[in-house]
Amino acid sequence: MADMTGSTTTSAAWTALVRHRDDGIAPLGKLLADDPGRATRLGIEVGDLWIDPSRQQVTDTTLALLADLADELSVAASFQRMMDGQPVNATEGIPALHTALRAPGHEVIRVGGVDVVPAIHATLDRMSDLATSIRDGSRTGATGEPITAVVSLGIGGSHLGPALAAEALSHLAQADLTVRFSSNLDGADLVEALDGLEPASTLIVVCSKSFTTVETLTAAQSARAWLAGGLGVDRAAEHVVAVTASPERSEAFGIPAELTFELPQWVGGRFSLPSAVGLAVMVAIGPPAFMELLAGMRLVDEHVATAPTLRNGPVLLGLIDVWNRSLLGRTSMAVVPYAHRLKLLPAYLQQLSMESLGKGTTLDGLAVDTSTGAVVWGSAGTDGQHAFFQLLHQGTDVVPCDLIGVARTAADPRGAHQNLLLANLAAQAAALTHGRTRAEVAAGGTPPDLVPHRTFAGNRPSTTILLPELTPSVLGQLLATYEHRTVTAATVWGIDPFDQWGVELGKELASRIAADPDGGDHDGSTIELLRRYRELRGT
């Protein structure tokens, strides 16, 4: 996205950052002790979010140099080009205009000379009409029964965002409606999604941008067969709608135009939640709440476009990601939401970050000259503490963490659980920061031979993100923050965050193997695997 005259690592700011790193950064415990107001000073409010990077191993000098890097590599200008609809997805020659999906109706955003906003709002209106008719019981199926269940089929970006949003906002769900998602090619996933439902009252939503995605189309064929088994072939067609950028393919599949919701070609899957891909979410939480979700995303879009670098939450987080990955050599990042309803967030961010930043080639077609995208992983808070926090505290790798807390929840109005959750979040952040010295361990009466085992090095970085509560707007703000954070890092590295060519090779080979398992060009390991598979299946 950036208009760069040289590589990232030859920029003056990068050279200064390397020199600054090599001079040494004080441990986190000292940074906090020497600056008691550090969290107040460095914390940033982005809409309703409070983002606190004070436990990252950065000084004021670090941040100033990162801001210089952003200026030198034209991060702000790159965001403007993206939001203006310029073809920033360079390898495909198209815009990456997901921000237009949450633009107000009066805004004008042109692609190829055509204002795209009216079509976006027309699609939102069609989605709202369908969602409202399902929610009020007026939408009936082929037999006249109301639609009371929606099953959304999709994979990757057509699944992770909607599934996360529906789970996170499940407290807003309508009790007499069932909304489920299926993504896995394993048939057990679809069987589970359809379990207990009746074809006469079920609507299937097929989400596939290209309408060639093997996993989704296989599930769609099986779901249609399930519908036909209960309704007959002709009637089953009334119970399937499509979300796609290729309506001609969905029509060839048997889904007419009036049951197809068009997805703009310039929307990448991992950025597509606010598009028609979110149809099942709109059914689950209602059109007004879905529009609040979009408004929350829009709020962050405006923040990114206007806030100065060091007070720009998503941009600062992206710059710190570059610092951790490329200059400090941190190979992974853990995302730990202390909120049960955000338990799908790590999986969502895995795709958003790793599909966007897992690139080894610059926009100029050259090999990158520094490390890019970290491995993203994690789980819900206290579950994670009893699974992988041992490695975070005493492992040989230093893993930066995002610790995400929620202040209020309808599930716990008195705060009995929430108070403990936030105490755990705060305790883990402090323990990662300060650790425990040998002297402290010994002073507690620990036998000398056990002291090394109970010592914690500390100096493990983390960022805290605090949400007031999980409303649609707040969720939208959180997701848009991570979107723009990801684009920031990509801009600095000079890579395209909007393509995913690395996904294609495996898909191509899978199609070739499925079509011709005995093909002569398979390697020996593949041939032996397929032989044993056929033997086990008796085929």
Catalytic site residues? 355, 386, 507
| Rounded distance between C-alpha atoms, residue 236 and residue 221, angstroms | 11
| Rounded distance between C-alpha atoms, residue 503 and residue 507, angstroms | 7
DSSP 94: B
Contact (Cβ atoms closer than 8 angstroms) between residue 27 and residue 398: no
Q: Which pair of tokens denotes residue 60?
A: 């004021």
Contact (Cβ atoms closer than 8 angstroms) between residue 189 and residue 180: no
Q: Which pair of tokens denotes residue 174?
A: 């309508």
To the nearest 10 degrees (0 to 180), the angle between helices 60-72 and 75-83 is 50
Report CA 27 to chain centroid distance, whole Å: 31
Contact (Cβ atoms closer than 8 angstroms) between residue 468 and residue 297: no
As to burial, measured by CB atoms within 10 angstroms (0-12 exposed, 13-18 middle, 19+ buried), residue 68 is middle
Pairing, β 110-111 against β 114-115: antiparallel
Count of all residues that appear for the chain in the document: 539
Three-class DSSP labels, 267-335? CCHHHCCCCHHHHHHHHHHCHHHHHHHHHHHHHHHHHHHHCCHHHCHHHHHHHHHHHHHHHCCCCEEEE
DSSP characters over 136-202: TT--B-TTSPBP-EEEEE--GGGTHHHHHHHHHTGGG--TT-EEEEE--SSHHHHHHHHTT--GGGE
As to burial, measured by CB atoms within 10 angstroms (0-12 exposed, 13-18 middle, 19+ buried), residue 451 is middle
| Residues 6+ away with beta carbon under 8 Å from 308 | none
Residue 57 in 3-state DSSP?
Answer: coil
Q: Which helix (H) or strand (E) holds 533?
A: helix 524-537
Q: Which pair of tokens denotes residue 217?
A: 């189309």
To the nearest 10 degrees (0 to 180), the angle between helices 214-231 and 187-194 is 40
Q: Which pair of tokens denotes residue 199?
A: 């074809």
Residue 71: HSE in the Cβ half-sphere, 13 Å Cα cutoff: 11
| Rounded distance between C-alpha atoms, residue 171 and residue 470, angstroms | 9
| Rounded distance between C-alpha atoms, residue 434 and residue 428, angstroms | 10
| Rounded distance between C-alpha atoms, residue 161 and residue 275, angstroms | 11
Residue 91 in 3-state DSSP?
Answer: coil
Instruction: Please name the residue that has the structure tokens 């999709």.
Output: 154
